[in-house]
Homo-oligomer: A and B are copies of this chain.
Amino acid sequence: MSVIYDRVALLGLGLIAGSMALAMREKGLAGRIVGHARSAETRQTALEIGLVDEVFDTAAEAVKGADLVVFCVPVGVMGQLAAEVAPHLETGATVSDVGSVKGAVIKAIAPHIPEGVHFIPGHPLAGTEHSGPRAGFASLFHNRWCLLTPLEGTDPKALDRLRQLWTEMGANVDEMDAAHHDLVLAVTSHAPHLIAYTMVGVADDLKRVTEREVINYSAAGFRDFTRIAASDPTMWRDVFLNNKEATLEILGRFTEELFDLQRAIRRGDGQQLFDYFTRTRAIRRGIIEAGQDTDAPDFGRVGKD
């Protein structure tokens, strides 16, 4: 493998930045990796565990001389960060991000990007329920998708270089426009997250069922919701506030459909339920065939005491 970027600056040093740093190191894709995080403790940790070669107290210092700058912060603070680093970006550098929404991020960042700097928004569809610099690992992006949403007139060479970085880190890369990205993610991620958060909140609220019962008997289905609902609260608050329209549209469809199934239960319409449940099995099969999940029962966690 050869170096793709000479100096990579990671702004924000959590799960995604940490995993990028480890993946780039493993394959020697970056000459030098530097970083910045708002919290001094996070900066210290990132340095200690070897995620980055150097940390800076300010984002402005961190981006100096970098040919790749990646914004790995919650979507809500990207605009402010862009304003702060803009005067310090190198001509010819690429600025990218890993935010879960793209329309709002483009609106927040693009106006600050100086002439001669390439801004290529990105979103790796990878993550776990853990957060912080210690949560990162080199294989996080293996066989996961990274979606790039380049603006019109993006320099093809700069785009190819960023694609190559993600490919070398193990990801499959796809391109689409930002609005479509935000709709697709509302379906595959944002609505499911809000739904999982809600169900876990309802269980927590219900006084006639004790917390011990909810916890002990979670393996019957609820458990998979709690993993999703344990994701980083700041990140997810920002996702919903910044992908408002698409998320609300999908949630509207969802409640419409849920009411229809509730009515089927109330009326005792077993055929409608059976047909619905049969249809959804095919999607699961497709996900396994596409290598986006394992076919092991219960993801292989069964039988492990």
With A142-B303, A237-B277, A251-B258 as known contacts, state yes or no: A293 contacts B227, CB within 8 Å: yes
Of the candidates B145, B198, B225, B285, which one forms a contact with A216 in the assembled complex, judged by CB atoms under 8 Å apart?
A: B145
Task: Across the interface, name the chain B residue whose C-beta is closest to A268.
Answer: B241
Q: CB of A49 within 8 A of chain B?
A: no
Q: CB of A83 within 8 A of chain B?
A: no
A residues 177-216 in Cβ contact with B at 8 Å: 183-185, 187-206, 208-209, 211, 213-216
**A262 engages B251 (CB within 8 Å):** yes
Q: Which of A2-10, A35-43, A86-94, A294-302 contacts B (4 or more CB under 8 A)?
A: A294-302
Chain B residue numbers with a CB within 8 Å of A140 are 302-303
Q: CB of A154 within 8 A of chain B?
A: no
Tell me the complex Cα distance, A103–B47, Å. 58
Task: Across the interface, name the chain B residue whose C-beta is closest to A125.
Answer: B220
Interface size on A, residues (CB 8 A): 115
Chain B residue numbers with a CB within 8 Å of A143 are 305
Q: CB of A110 within 8 A of chain B?
A: no
Q: CB of A80 within 8 A of chain B?
A: no
Chain B residue numbers with a CB within 8 Å of A71 are none
Task: Across the interface, name the chain B residue whose C-beta is closest to A270.
Answer: B237
**B215 engages A292 (CB within 8 Å):** yes
**A287 engages B202 (CB within 8 Å):** no
Chain B residue numbers with a CB within 8 Å of A142 are 302-303, 305
A residues 260-305 in Cβ contact with B at 8 Å: 261-262, 265-266, 268, 270, 273-274, 276-281, 283-287, 290, 292-294, 297-305
Tell me the complex Cα distance, A189–B222, Å. 6
**A130 engages B283 (CB within 8 Å):** no
Q: List 6 A-B contacts (CB under 8 A).
A: A145-B219, A170-B305, A195-B195, A203-B283, A294-B301, A299-B300
